[in-house]
Amino acid sequence: MIEVVVFGICGKMGKSISKELVKEDDVKIIGGFDKENIGEDLGIVLNIGETGSKIYNSYKEIERINPDLIIDFTKADIALKTINWAIDTGINIIVGTTGISKENLVKTKKRALKSNSKVFIAPNFSVGAVIMIKISKLVAKYFDNCEIIELHHDGKIDSPSGTSVSTAEQINEEVVFNNNRLKDNEVETVGGSRGSFSNGIHIHSVRLPGLLAHQNVIFGAKGQTLSIRHDSIDRSSFYPGVIHAIRSINNLTNYTYGLDSLINI
């Protein structure tokens, strides 16, 4: 039995994942961590009936109940603090929170590799999204340029998304499309019209109510385009990746980044 504490359990993602986790025979949620509903039975918050496990807002209380694993779906600053605490405490942690800077990821990797904790960080837990990135990397060398449009719900704080940045990084390993954000003769009549720029690829972020998580990778060559699109229309799409990571964590190195590390494609 893997005993877990879900950080951000009162958020939309935390609730969605937790409601699926309680159905598993080999996983038990022994607590939640959030700024809301502190002291409440997490089962009441999840509308599944009393469980006897509570929601906390103190690292000391989490350390006292001694979980095997932390699952974090919070915000970047909170997640980073929790990762460092988990490393210091010797607790394994799975992080689905996005927006952690590349610099902090490098620091986290160095700390994790010297610790007794296993740290797994993924910008996207959807298997379909991982396949989208893999295919994009595969076909990139056959095209002249590429741009990414990523669309998310209006509650998403960070832009561009971690998935779009990861996609650009993966494509950049195969081909460098652009050395500069704008061409020599290119002018933006409105600043930012050409979007952000990462690893030689323009990324355009859309934030609207009604969306969840979507990405379109568009390749162009003479006389043709190719679009590779993935849509998560419900948060349940992320659960298979999460449970796979939970069941794989003990077999991983002390630092692992990306769900693709667990999927053999």
Structure-block tokens of residue 255:
């630092």
* Strands 213-221 and 224-232, bridge-based pairing: antiparallel
How far, CA to CA in Å, does 61 sit from each of 57, 243, 258? 8, 25, 30
CA 43 from centroid of its chain's CA atoms: 25
What residue type is 169 in one-letter code? E
Task: Spell out the residues 6+ positions from residue 45 whose beta carbon is closer than 8 angstroms to its own.
Answer: 9, 10, 15, 32, 37, 55
Report CA 79 to chain centroid distance, whole Å.
11
Phi, psi of 208, rounded to the nearest 5 degrees:
-145, 145
Q: What is the largest CA-CA distance in the chain?
A: 65
CB atoms near residue 183 (< 10 Å): 10
Cα gap 202→217, rounded to integer Å = 10
Q: Which residues are catalytic?
A: 152, 156
Task: Give first-to-last CA distance, the chain, whole Å.
Answer: 29
Round to whole Å and give the CA distance between 207 and 200: 23
